[in-house]
A and B are shown apart, each in its own frame.
Chain A
Amino acid sequence: MAALKQEVIALNGDEAVAYAVKQCDVDVVAAYPITPQTIIVERFSEYVANGEVDTAFICVESEHSALTCCLTAAATGARAFTATASAGLALMHEILGVTSGCRAPVVMAIVNRALSAPINIHGDHSDSMAERDMGWIHIYAENSQEAYDSIIQAFRIAEHPEVLLPTLVGLDGFILSHTLENVHVLPDETVKRFVGERKLPLVRNHEGKLVPFKLDPENPITIGPLDLYDYYFEHKRQQEEAMRKAYDIIKEVHEEYAQLSGRRYGNGLVEPYRLEDAEIATVCIGSTAGTVKTVVDELREKGVKAGLLRIRVFRPLPVQDIIKWLSDKKAVAVMDRACSFGGNGGPLFHEIRHALYDLQNRPPVINYIYGLGGRDTPPYLIHHVYQNLQKIVETGRIEQLVNFIGLRE
């Protein structure tokens, strides 16, 4: 099927997110301003003020309340969205776990920004990586186009009755949030139809009756009860099961969207770039992939068999895809824009190495921590990474497992 004719408008990453939210028939948006997310709430406020959306916009007094409002709005049967960054996400931390535990399919944009202290407003992944285990689906965009596409997909994924998990879409602070890009946007009606009305699964209430999963006086249910050692564990197990199911649903939603838009990001979970015949590969998340792709092209021209695996979905971790794409490589470097202090490498490194552990012949996997606090990562640094991989292939020796790159040492 040919993709729809689409309007091209100049949007920065934040505006692309706000535009997508506008088209998704969202019932409640609750948000608190924080750099570099602010443009999202500003644009959305304009949509509200100009009557372009039918959304209740709650200008809350904190991020903690922002996510709380979204959670209870979702529990009332509404579609809810919020956006934050850095300290705001850290303040929400408690409610992230409550949102996934209450199975409230909230969608949240994280404009990735460094955590304090020292205070820094620029992009890195330390904020959302710190929320790795809170039961949210994590999708990371490479550019503003993908941020737009991912927000639309996120509602379908989060609200899928088999999933019912909150979903965050990460986009790099400033690098994407404040950089103008030509973004192809789908017609309003197409997005509205794609996202559809929120479907509510049936759940068994305390009287044994099957009722819609929402706060409804006709069919009262209790959400967020005290749940001790006799049931809590089973409920946590259900969240893990939902994550497992999310893997296929993310793929399906991505494919259905690709049919409409003509845009694909790998299989929706990972995006390989010139990886099929590559001997050495890097793995990264977010906007850095754009730079890496340029470097890969340059190396390919020189005959170096370099490739990239971009992790688009970090939770659920696409283990089988990681194995499929990396198992036959001669050396792999994982790029982390976050540090797990004292953890012997960054979070993505740990996960990629863990995914490959069971292979009989696994490639050597090294780690590069880069770009903290928005430090620029120009092509020459990426070249340096590939050079090191070539050296590992030639010598069979890893000099340093965990490396910090692009900083004063």
Chain B
Amino acid sequence: MAEWKFTAKDFAQIPELFASGHRACAGCGPAIVMRLILKAARGPVIATNSTGCMEVVSTIYPYTAWRIPWIHTAFENVAANAAGIEAALKVLKKKGRLKYEHIDVIAFGGDGGTYDIGLQALSGAAERGHDFLYVLYDNEAYMNTGIQRSGGTPLGAWTTTSPAGKVIPGKTERKKPIADIMVAHEIPYVATASVSEWRDLVLKARKGMEVEGPAFLHVLAPCPRGWRHDTSKTIEIARLAVETCVFPLWEAENGEYKLSPKSKAIALKPELKKPVEEYLKTQGRFKHLFKPENKHLLEEIQKEVDRRWQKLLKQCQIS
């Protein structure tokens, strides 16, 4: 498929399918994801959300932010929502009851709805090969219920269920490598993206829609409320996640890993890689790590980020 080419001006002129006026917080990362993904649509689209912030803020009855057909059913089943829609569209087309040549199906899930409660439905839909794009908007905790830790919460982070206490200093477990798990499903397309790199994000979303079969896009989307940062810093912090290699950008087409430009630049010029502290210090959820007694944790986190980065470089065949 030919790569989608556009200028920033072209992009600005694409109609907004995720309408303004929704109830997301100021500085909300996930709301940016919804907007950008829908702007990347190549034609008619049906979207479905798992229960979570984006479902709640976008649809308080009788209002809706969705200028496309949209459905929400429950928390753990958004991939099954997409599967049912996709199967229905296929059979209706076959029976001559669909007036469109093709409709793209997009499933949006948060980290709770993807890493944890929704993993089974996602794995099943991926295995069955439904043609849909799954977008994980990862704000690294159950933010809708008030900042509880999920399988996507990073090591050391404070949440209300992994509090920084006197004995336990925040989350003691690592972030589940969800995108690698999806690559292991041998689906045609998996990629990571950050709200800070919007062009990279929308190109990947478009590619995810274009491939035949399941595509998985993992987008890092800061949450000022849960991450404890100023609402004006969302993009800056998302960018630091990429620059420190806390959240590298890559894509895997048919299982072939490839670094995306921003992360590739770091791989080629390792001195560009910023220390992880620069990222951690921007957010209140990591504040406790900077106490003298937790110095070893900062080191541990840096080590863990380095380990994963090295692993990714190997996967991308960069040594």
Binding site for B on A (CB under 8 A): 27-28, 30, 54-56, 58-62, 64-65, 68-78, 80, 94-95, 98, 102, 206, 214-228, 230-231
Total A-B pairs, Cβ < 8 A: 163
**Which one of B68, B95, B97, B124 contacts A65 once the chains associate, using CB atoms below 8 Å?**
B124
Which residue on A lies nearest to B72, using beta carbons?
Answer: A224
Asked if B64 and A222 sit within 8 Å, CB to CB, the answer is yes
- Chain A residue contacts of B64, Cβ below 8 A: 206, 222, 225
Cβ of B181 within 8 Å of any chain A Cβ, yes or no, is no
Do A225 and B69 contact each other (CB < 8 Å), given the known contacts A54-B91, A58-B84, A65-B124?
no
- Chain A residue contacts of B302, Cβ below 8 A: none
Comparing B40-48, B159-167, B205-213, B253-261, the segment that makes contact with chain A is B40-48
Do A222 and B74 contact each other (CB < 8 Å), given the known contacts A27-B95, A217-B45?
no
Do A58 and B46 contact each other (CB < 8 Å), given the known contacts A77-B92, A95-B74, A217-B69?
no
Distance of A228 from chain B, by nearest CB (Å):
7
**Which one of A30, A54, A217, A220 contacts B84 once the chains associate, using CB atoms below 8 Å?**
A30
Asked if A220 and B66 sit within 8 Å, CB to CB, the answer is yes
Distance of B209 from chain A, by nearest CB (Å):
14
Q: What are 30 A-B contacts defined by CB distance under 8 Å?
A: A28-B84, A30-B87, A54-B91, A56-B91, A58-B87, A61-B123, A61-B124, A69-B81, A69-B84, A71-B73, A71-B84, A72-B71, A72-B81, A72-B84, A72-B85, A73-B85, A74-B88, A76-B84, A77-B88, A95-B73, A95-B74, A95-B77, A206-B64, A220-B67, A220-B68, A222-B59, A222-B69, A226-B60, A227-B60, A228-B60
Asked if A215 and B97 sit within 8 Å, CB to CB, the answer is no
Asked if A68 and B73 sit within 8 Å, CB to CB, the answer is yes
Cβ of B155 within 8 Å of any chain A Cβ, yes or no, is no
Which residue on A lies nearest to B103, using beta carbons?
Answer: A217
Q: When A and B form their complex, which 10 residue pairs have the shortest distance between CB atoms, in order from nearest?
A: A61-B124, A72-B84, A69-B84, A225-B59, A217-B44, A215-B69, A65-B80, A78-B88, A76-B88, A68-B80
- Chain A residue contacts of B127, Cβ below 8 A: 61
Q: How far is the CA of A70 from the CA of B70 in the complex (A)?
A: 16
Which residue on B lies nearest to A26, using beta carbons?
Answer: B91
Asked if B77 and A65 sit within 8 Å, CB to CB, the answer is yes
Cβ of B251 within 8 Å of any chain A Cβ, yes or no, is no
Distance of A204 from chain B, by nearest CB (Å):
10
Asked if A217 and B77 sit within 8 Å, CB to CB, the answer is no
Distance of B29 from chain A, by nearest CB (Å):
20
Asked if B120 and A220 sit within 8 Å, CB to CB, the answer is no
Do A72 and B61 contact each other (CB < 8 Å), given the known contacts A56-B91, A224-B71?
no
Asked if A69 and B76 sit within 8 Å, CB to CB, the answer is no
- Chain B residue contacts of A94, Cβ below 8 A: 74
**Which one of B48, B91, B125 contacts A28 once the chains associate, using CB atoms below 8 Å?**
B91
Asked if A60 and B124 sit within 8 Å, CB to CB, the answer is yes
Q: How far is the CA of A252 from the CA of B66 in the complex (A)?
A: 39
**Size of interface on B: residues with Cβ below 8 Å to A:** 49
Taking A60-B128, A98-B73 as known contacts, 19 extra A-B pairs with beta carbons closer than 8 A to each other, sorted by chain A number, are A56-B87, A58-B84, A60-B83, A64-B121, A65-B77, A65-B83, A65-B120, A72-B82, A214-B69, A217-B44, A217-B69, A219-B69, A220-B69, A224-B59, A224-B72, A224-B73, A225-B60, A225-B72, A227-B60
Which residue on A lies nearest to B63, using beta carbons?
Answer: A206
- Chain B residue contacts of A217, Cβ below 8 A: 44-46, 68-69, 100, 103
Which residue on B lies nearest to A76, using beta carbons?
Answer: B88
Asked if A76 and B73 sit within 8 Å, CB to CB, the answer is no
- Chain A residue contacts of B124, Cβ below 8 A: 60-62, 65
Which residue on B lies nearest to A97, using beta carbons?
Answer: B74
Asked if A60 and B69 sit within 8 Å, CB to CB, the answer is no
Q: How far is the CA of A60 from the CA of B127 in the complex (A)?
A: 10
Asked if B73 and A225 sit within 8 Å, CB to CB, the answer is no
Asked if A72 and B88 sit within 8 Å, CB to CB, the answer is yes
Which residue on A lies nearest to B79, using beta carbons?
Answer: A65
Asked if A69 and B87 sit within 8 Å, CB to CB, the answer is yes
- Chain A residue contacts of B83, Cβ below 8 A: 30, 58, 60, 65, 68-69, 72
- Chain A residue contacts of B100, Cβ below 8 A: 217
- Chain A residue contacts of B88, Cβ below 8 A: 27-28, 56, 72-74, 76-78, 80
Interface string of B33-60 (1 = CB under 8 A from A): 0000000000011101000000110011
- Chain B residue contacts of A28, Cβ below 8 A: 84, 87-88, 91
Asked if A226 and B55 sit within 8 Å, CB to CB, the answer is yes
Q: How far is the CA of A54 from the CA of B96 in the complex (A)?
A: 12
Asked if B60 and A73 sit within 8 Å, CB to CB, the answer is no
Distance of B46 from chain A, by nearest CB (Å):
5
Cβ of B292 within 8 Å of any chain A Cβ, yes or no, is no
Asked if A72 and B48 sit within 8 Å, CB to CB, the answer is yes
- Chain A residue contacts of B228, Cβ below 8 A: none
Which residue on B lies nearest to A27, using beta carbons?
Answer: B91
**Which one of B60, B61, B71, B125 contacts A215 once the chains associate, using CB atoms below 8 Å?**
B71
Q: How far is the CA of A72 from the CA of B120 in the complex (A)?
A: 18
- Chain A residue contacts of B125, Cβ below 8 A: 65
Q: How far is the CA of A222 from the CA of B46 in the complex (A)?
A: 10
Asked if B73 and A102 sit within 8 Å, CB to CB, the answer is yes
- Chain A residue contacts of B94, Cβ below 8 A: 54
- Chain A residue contacts of B128, Cβ below 8 A: 58-60
Q: How far is the CA of A206 from the CA of B66 in the complex (A)?
A: 10
Q: How far is the CA of A214 from the CA of B85 in the complex (A)?
A: 11
